[in-house]
Amino acid sequence: MKKKPFLTGLAILTLLFSGCEKQITEVIATDMNGTVSSVPFSETSTEENAVSTLDASDFFSARDFEVGYDETESAVIQLNGTSAVCDSDAVKISGSTVTILDEGTYILSGTLEDGRIVVDAEKTDKTQLVLNGVSIHCETSAPIYVLQADKVFITLAEGTENTLSNGGTFTAIDDNNIDAVIFSKDDLTLNGSGSLTIASPAGHGIVSKDSLTITSGTYTITAASHALSGKDDVSVANASLALNSGKDGIHAENNEDPELGTVYIQNGNFQITAQGDGISAAADMRIEGGTFALVTGGGSENSAQQTSASWGGFSGGGKHSDNGMGNAKPFGDSVSRDRSGGKPTDGNMVSMDGAMVSESPETADSSEDSAKGIKAGGNLTINGGTFSIDSADDAVHSNADLTVSGGTFAIATGDDGFHADDTLNVYTGTIQIRQSYEGLEALHLNIFGGDIAVTSSDDGLNAAGGTDASGMGGRGGDKFGGRSSTSGGSISISGGTFLGTGSSGMAQSFSEAGQGGISVNAGSCPAGTEILLTDASGKVLLQASPEESFSVIIFSSPELVKGETYTLTVGSSSGEFTAS
């Protein structure tokens, strides 16, 4: 077992869970100042937080944000249904095909019923297209096609409404596989204060085979495949995006270089309905604020979740009052049984009923489909924002490390709320997971601070290795890449307030506690049953009504003193228990 790091910060965690498929290896919650109003960080925690190396300067240039242009220095292209006119020598017009051959600024207005704009400039040219109220439809190709340039800027003129659409097929016109309404072979930036509506019934919305950048503007995109796709990266700042896609809403992937395929988001408004992932990066992803409403794979109700209602029992022991509520067990002084051989192991875990605990069968990968809310193949860092995620697959997922340093999350998922193949660090934020198979899952799970409430059909908190293919009802599930935890493990708490309720199957209390706590088998309690804990003076230390049925109660708080007796009332039953 790896050495636990020294952690600082503040954690307020309310956990609702039922069942546990795997042992919890390591969960740490630390409270350095005993209040809930702030989250102080030491140099140690700040350094550990710096998982992502992505920086805004790597993605945005000053010109990406420039939306102005000089009309007197610009070429004007007037679209006239089946043709166009322009008096610039840098513009070639052949029927309904307009080809731009040089750098500079080009202002487009009018309508093309079945035509396209092609940028074929020098490789060193920077070209700006100003959409000043255009409607361009191309029946068999891309209405805007960047064949060559150094970089193209598409600016939405202030107050204008612009529309681009494809007829439902993409017929090759050269060696490139054009498959989007806006298709660029080179770097592409969109900005401006107007709006753009894109309809792509047979392909992607916007594609860049280099970098795709959006810094302002309002976009409504409906696409059969990805709504936005960048080969090297996709970066968005301050824009408003309404995306409806048959695959991913935002997708970045470079099959030739695993370090590319990144996503960087700096504020903005994102309303994404995707049959695939909401936001997907093959490499790293960093989110610095924004408002996100994501629905993926038809939402959480579209995933058939597995359940584990009766894995063993939560056995008691120690001093307790027999009051009809079942056995009460204080923290520590207990034995767990290994899954493979049934003999006791170390770890100071809550004991079970002595019987072998069988895990539910793993679901084989029957599909490569992914319907995650936010997904990164590399490290994922979230430093703020407001997130509403309803996903068939994981809500927030990283194939490496996942760091949450702020934000408000309202999550319903058919699988995990937050999943990291390696380390999941939560520093601060408000997390409400109202539906999940497992709440927070990672090989190593560290909670430094935050306000977290989890409702799950299996683990509330899970830090374990091996393979996890649960909860997805045929979509596959998560892989831990061969990592595993075979030596048992422990869960420790040294600060903050923790409440866990759920079924007795493999429930595990704290083996290391820097504060008092109790663990109780309360029998069968329906959802909504009130839990009330008071001290000897009658002071209320806990009052809660779990949203799911439960039998086990695990509670720890700085207000509990080890060795002192407390009165616990569950529904109409009451008894005295000693904190340990």
pLDDT in tens, 267-292: 999 999 999 999 999 999 999 999 99
Start-to-end CA distance of the chain, whole Å, equals: 25
Mean pLDDT to the nearest integer, 207-227? 98
Mean pLDDT to the nearest integer, 460-485? 51
144 and 194: one domain? yes
Q: Tell me, what's the pLDDT at 493?
A: 82
18 and 105: one domain? no
Would you place residue 489 in the very low, low, confident or very high pLDDT band (cuts 50, 70, 90)? Answer: low
- In 3D, which of 161, 247, 238 has the Cα closest to residue 205? 247
Q: Tell me, what's the pLDDT at 492?
A: 78
126 and 92: one domain? yes
Share of the chain above pLDDT 70, in %: 74
17 and 102: one domain? no
Mean pLDDT to the nearest integer, 191-202? 98
Mean pLDDT to the nearest integer, 322-336? 30
- In 3D, which of 139, 131, 205 has the Cα closest to residue 170? 139
Residue bearing the bigger pLDDT, 75 or 516: 75
Q: Tell me, what's the pLDDT at 471?
A: 45
Would you place residue 495 in the very low, low, confident or very high pLDDT band (cuts 50, 70, 90)? Answer: confident
Widest CA span in the chain: 94
Burial class for 171, CB neighbours closer than 10 Å (0-12, 13-18, 19+): exposed
Is residue 362 within 8 Å of residue 472, measured between CB atoms? no
Domain stops at, among 500, 515, 530? 515
If residue 45 lies in a helix (H) or strand (E), which one and from where to where? helix 43-49
Average pLDDT, the chain: 80
Q: How far is CA 228 from the centre of its chain?
A: 18
Cα separation of 469 and 479, whole Å? Answer: 7
13: pLDDT strictly greater than 60: no
Residue in this structure with the two tokens 């550990």, named with its chain if needed: 48
Would you place residue 40 in the very low, low, confident or very high pLDDT band (cuts 50, 70, 90)? Answer: very low
Would you place residue 507 in the very low, low, confident or very high pLDDT band (cuts 50, 70, 90)? Answer: low
- In 3D, which of 164, 186, 158, 391 has the Cα closest to residue 276? 391
118: pLDDT strictly greater than 90: yes
- In 3D, which of 32, 51, 29, 26 has the Cα closest to residue 449? 29
210 and 146: one domain? yes
If residue 48 lies in a helix (H) or strand (E), which one and from where to where? helix 43-49
Q: Is residue 360 part of a domain?
A: no
Mean pLDDT to the nearest integer, 470-482? 44
Share of the chain above pLDDT 90, in %: 65
Q: Is residue 332 part of a domain?
A: no
Cα separation of 448 and 215, whole Å? Answer: 33
Mean pLDDT to the nearest integer, 86-106? 97
40 and 96: one domain? no
Would you place residue 314 in the very low, low, confident or very high pLDDT band (cuts 50, 70, 90)? Answer: very low
Q: Is residue 283 part of a domain?
A: no
Strand extents, DSSP E, 157-210: 161-166, 180-184, 187-192, 195-200, 204-208
Q: Is residue 49 part of a domain?
A: yes
**This model's pTM is above 0.85:** no
Is residue 66 within 8 Å of residue 99, measured between CB atoms? no
Q: Where is mean pLDDT largest: 105-114, 331-340, 492-501, 512-521? A: 105-114
Q: Is residue 480 part of a domain?
A: yes
Helix (H, G, I), strand (E, B) or coil at 565: strand
174 and 211: one domain? yes
If residue 501 lies in a helix (H) or strand (E), which one and from where to where? strand 497-502
35 and 90: one domain? no
Q: Is residue 363 part of a domain?
A: no
Q: Is residue 299 part of a domain?
A: no
Mean pLDDT to the nearest integer, 250-263? 96
- Number of domains observed in the structure of the chain: 2
317: pLDDT strictly greater than 70: no
Minimum mean pLDDT range among 8-17, 166-175, 490-499, 504-513? 8-17
Range(s) of the domain holding residue 458:
12-53+308-327+370-515
Q: Tell me, what's the pLDDT at 326?
A: 31
99: pLDDT strictly greater than 60: yes
Q: Give 256's DSSP letter.
A: T
Neighbours of 384 (CB within 10 A): 17
Residue bearing the bigger pLDDT, 524 or 369: 524
Instruction: Report how far apart, in Å, the C-alpha atoms of 65 and of each of 60, 156, 189, 215 are.
Output: 8, 12, 9, 6
Would you place residue 109 in the very low, low, confident or very high pLDDT band (cuts 50, 70, 90)? Answer: very high
Domain stops at, among 515, 540, 562? 515
Q: Residue length, the chain?
A: 580
Q: Tell me, what's the pLDDT at 547?
A: 86
Q: Is residue 205 part of a domain?
A: yes
Domain stops at, among 515, 536, 571? 515
Residue bearing the bigger pLDDT, 79 or 522: 79
72 and 186: one domain? yes
66 and 37: one domain? no
Cα separation of 407 and 449, whole Å? Answer: 12
206 and 226: one domain? yes
Is residue 72 within 8 Å of residue 95, measured between CB atoms? no
430 and 469: one domain? yes
